[in-house]
Amino acid sequence: MCRSIKPLRNMDHAATEEEIAEAALQYVRKVSGYRKPSRVNEEAFNAAVAEVARATQKLLGGLNVQTKTL
């Protein structure tokens, strides 16, 4: 859907809160069609970013992390 959202699982380090927030922002931008929402839509936009970030943290925390073997 959005090629600029990088995978946050199986990196060489655990995803940081900043990386999760950036991915959430990219997702909401793509879905909403807004790079920066108008003042009237800003509250809903920011709430969506926060909710997507929370869901992402929950998902990443619940996945069984398997180590990569070369």
For 45-58, the pLDDT digits (tens) are 999 999 999 999 99
Percent of the chain clearing pLDDT 70 (strictly above) = 83
Among 54, 43, 47, which Cα is nearest to 21's?
54
**In the predicted structure, residue 8 carries a pLDDT above the cut 90:** no
Give the C-alpha separation, 49 to 11, whole Å. 22
Compare 3 and 24 and report the one with higher pLDDT: 24
pLDDT confidence band for 34 (50 / 70 / 90): very high
Q: What is the DSSP string of 6-61?
A: ---SSSSSPPPHHHHHHHHHHHHHHHH--SS--HHHHHHHHHHHHHHHHHHHHHHH
pTM of the full structure? 0.79
